[in-house]
Amino acid sequence: MYYPKSQIKTNLYTNGDEYILSTTKEIYKGNYYEISTGQKYTGKNPEDTPNILLNTNTTPKFPNEPSKVFANVILTQDDLSNGSYPLNPPIRTIPLFNPTLPTDQDIQNGQFNRYFCKKTNELKYLEIDKETYTKLQAKDLQIAWDLYEPASLLWVIKGTQENVSNTNKSSVFKIEQNQRWNGFSQYFKENYSKYYQSQDINDLYTSGGEFTTKNGQNYIGFYHIHNGITPMVGKTHINTPHDVLLPITQQLSSNNIVTSSNLPSSTIPTGGGSYSGGGSSMGGGGSY
């Protein structure tokens, strides 16, 4: 197609960062000219052949610059025949690492959703945010949806730590199996209790009569209830070993409760008196 000289900028130059050849996708360095439509071609001017159409180079110039890929561009047979490739085809972002963190409401609910994706042709996994997951699911043209497979995972953060870990591990292995994401479980490095919210009740105090130690001694002092279930020595839970406390009321059984029926006849009081059985201090075991 002929263009008047007034519509051509000649003797332009690129150092190789700006454009690629539309035919081979190689980075182009050298002279080029530009016509009034904005299209650029190799050569100082139209007479300086071959005149190959140049496309904008979308490769990041810096390592931390978000990567972009070309979107799907549908070309007609005429386009392929005359070399009329789009000058600036649409570009799409690729997923970046951006994990979702539990909100206050999530913590109250005891669970929240985490989002992940896998490269379709590689066993590479990445944690992403909900927005990226939604775009991949919807095959949004702004993102490389055809290069990544998305998945969501309900992540439990409350309960006993053992149950939380086992539940999350089971969910991860289910995705690994159902979606054939081999090695997905290795991404978590066995940390299936990540974001775990302790249900400890701290800074409690007993003046006695509620608990004994494992040696049977009446316990007086600070204690906490681990995971909302187990009373233990100390104001708060720590990683080093510390004693579990035994509620006194849970230690009684039909074999050790003293009643008049299992006392020797010589010890049964007579008259109007009553036998206390020493049980008056046992009523506080259920206060926690």
pLDDT digits (tens, 9 = 90+) for 89-140: 567 899 999 999 999 899 889 999 999 999 999 999 999 999 999 999 999 9
274 has pLDDT over 60: no
Map 135-171 to HEC letters: HHHHCCCCECHHHEEEEEEEEECCCCHHHHHHHHHHH
Map 195-257 to HEC letters: CCCCCCEEEEEECCCCEECCCCCECCEEEEEECCCEEEECCCCCCCCCCECEEHHHHCCCCCC
Write the single-letter amino acid at 273.
G
Alpha-carbon span 11 to 34, nearest angstrom: 9
Alpha-carbon span 165 to 196, nearest angstrom: 9
pLDDT tens, position by position, 28-49:
889 998 887 788 999 988 888 8
Residue 18 is predicted with a pLDDT of 81
Across the chain, mean pLDDT equals 78
For residues 5-21, average pLDDT: 84
Residues 6+ apart with CB under 8 A from 114: 99, 100, 127, 152, 153, 155
Residue 264 is predicted with a pLDDT of 43
Residue 78 is predicted with a pLDDT of 52
4 has pLDDT over 60: yes
pTM (predicted TM-score): 0.47
Alpha-carbon span 132 to 176, nearest angstrom: 20
pLDDT tens, position by position, 53-70:
998 876 644 444 444 454
